[in-house]
Amino acid sequence: MFSPFMLQLLLLFLFLNYTILQHTNPSSLHWDYQREGPDTWQHTFNTCNGKAQSPINIRTSRVKYDPKLRPLSLNGFTTNTSLHIWNFTHNGHTIVVYPPASANLSISGANLPESFSLVQFHFHWGYNAYQGSEHTIDGIKYPLEIHFVHQAHFSRAQAVLGIFFELQHDDNPYINDLLSILNQTTNISISIEKQIDITPLFPTLLSPRFYRYNGSLTTPPCTEGITWIILASTVSISEYQLEVFAGNSISWNFRHPQKLYSRQVLANFQSAKHENLQDEEDESIHCSSVCVQQVLTLLLSYVLIIFMLK
């Protein structure tokens, strides 16, 4: 039997242990892509097994066109961003680029409740030129995906803007300066500051076409409640330019698409597939009305025949 003193010590130990666990920062727990990859994250971070996880495969035939989606505004990005000094840091999982406080870059529109300020952007790549993106479109993978992470000032909610890079034969000269800096941050803990223009990282800055859905962070702790905006247009990059990432100490850093479950992906544009679906629905409605008319005509004819026979 425990003495009262020993029992008090045991209760104190259990209380302290519970308190420590409750205040442990999930982001400080170990995770990686290779040894303890994305499929094992859920064992340490319960949220990674949630029902609103990112990334996802965007099936364009299931996307809902929403004409009420307001245009996406990229505030401050249209000015000369080369005036800003950006911080490039290799954190062991990716290369993170932080803007200076004076940058004043944000996104609004797209039915976001308020303006969201840019916090950082980072990269996801693969070990070859045919995979690397986290989101996919109709199962198609891209070699590189950039995530621009934004946070709202009042609600502290987060919105992430995703941009694909598509493989092309020729180099994209507009991103050479950026790639040169990334080539200097290939190892963990390297941090440098450079003045650079990031506008070439956007396929367009004026009213881009986009997909929108509710998801999560794609890295632990996989926090849900994140608004995702994925641009439909891509930025070009050559296989030679992708070698910058091949020389990184991280060979790949992408999470595979997660189940969509009951979530709905919206789009602010109507693609050919959407239009075809609409045509099919219209034809179905037209067929239904015609069929009803034919049935009524037959019934009326039957009633007239019976009446005449009497």
Given the residues 93, 124, 256, 286, select the one marked as catalytic: 93
Residue carrying the six token digits 């920062």: 25
Query: How much is the pLDDT for 297?
Result: 58
- Domain identity same for 263 and 281: no
- Domain identity same for 232 and 286: no
Task: Clarify whether 93 is annotated catalytic.
Answer: yes
Q: Please, which pLDDT band fits residue 8 given cuts at 50, 70 and 90? A: low
- Domain identity same for 62 and 128: yes
Query: How much is the pLDDT for 138?
Result: 98
What is the CA angle 129-185-30, rounded to 5?
Answer: 85
Rounded to whole angstroms, the Cα distance separating 237 from 165 reads 6
Could you report the per-residue pLDDT of 228-263, keeping only the tens digit for each?
999 999 999 999 999 999 888 999 999 999 999 999
**CATH classification at residue 195:** 3.10.200.10
Three-state DSSP class for 298? helix
Give pTM, 2 decimals. Answer: 0.81
What average pLDDT does range 126-133 have in this prediction?
94
Could you report the per-residue pLDDT of 158-187, keeping only the tens digit for each?
999 999 999 999 999 999 999 999 999 999
287 occurs within a structural domain: yes
9 occurs within a structural domain: no
Could you report the per-residue pLDDT of 20-48, keeping only the tens digit for each?
334 444 445 789 998 889 999 999 999 99
Greater confidence, 292 or 80?
80
Rounded to whole angstroms, the Cα distance separating 146 from 94 reads 11
Residues 6+ away with beta carbon under 8 Å from 223: 47, 158, 216, 217
- Domain identity same for 73 and 213: yes
Counting the structural domains of the chain, the total is: 2
Query: How much is the pLDDT for 304?
Result: 59
